[in-house]
Amino acid sequence: MSIDVAIRDFFRFLKNPRYAYKSYEPVPFGTLTLMYILIFFSIVLISSPLMYLVGAENMQHSIDELMNNYPKWVFVLLTVVMAPIIEELIFRWHLRQPIVILCVIAAMLGGGLVYAFRQDLLALWPMVIVLVFIAALLVLLLSSNGVRAAISKFYHRFFPLIFYGTVVIFALAHLGNFSDVQNWYVAPILVLPQALIGLFLGYVRVRNNIFWSIYFHAFHNMIPTVLFLMMPDTMLN
């Protein structure tokens, strides 16, 4: 598949996302790589001026904390390996496996309970009881053919809403990277790069599989990671 055909197909998909869109005809790795390069430079050209206008370079970023508090190998492991795997499983695995959304919801509820416990907002035994209830309910729902069929039908019918909703949630989740956002209207600009790359990763997930979206997510994270590692310590501090 040539790059121009792939780009047109990408925009055709974005115009009307469909469940399992051409999954029988995955895009070759070389073509996806060229697409990523074009999208990466598009993200830089679009977001860099906007980031400068809102003063993003003066905001505290979570990468600074990681670089200052962890060894470099841990920093690389978190940003290039762990983050892509976890984020793709949470935000894009369900795009081809609808039943996974139940696991994602259960994991988020469980994470919220654990967080509440660690913040002394919830006692141990109530947390354990609710976690057991969530786990039992999850097993019950996963074993129900009726539930699986209903979720699959919902995904086929409302896939555009699900796809773009996933992109928005994925982008907004990265707003937490900035610790001192004072004006709400700058939030869309701060997470614009994640929204744009989220469109590409979603397309890769639907058209190919989860492993390719993890790969390109990891490659995308590797670029700023390498740049940070090349910076002198005086600049980081």
Rounded distance between C-alpha atoms, residue 160 and residue 168, angstroms: 12
| Residue % of the chain over a pLDDT of 90 | 60
pLDDT at residue 228 in the model: 78
Contact 156, 135 (CB under 8 A): no
DSSP state of 228: H
**What Cα–Cα distance (Å) separates residue 166 from each residue in 17, 87, 155, 158?**
12, 11, 12, 12
Instruction: For residue range 178-223, list pLDDT tens digits in order.
Output: 776 667 777 888 899 999 999 999 999 999 989 999 999 999 999 8
Closest CA to 210 of 53, 108, 82, 96: 96
What pLDDT is attached to residue 234?
47
- pLDDT tens, 3-51? 889 999 999 999 999 998 888 889 999 999 999 999 999 999 998 888 8
The DSSP letter of residue 1 is: -
Q: What is the pLDDT of residues 69-117, one digit of tens each?
A: 778 888 889 889 999 999 999 999 999 999 999 999 999 999 999 988 8
- Matching residue, tokens 């073509």: 31
Q: Which residue has the higher pLDDT, 63 or 4?
A: 4
54, pLDDT greater than 90: no
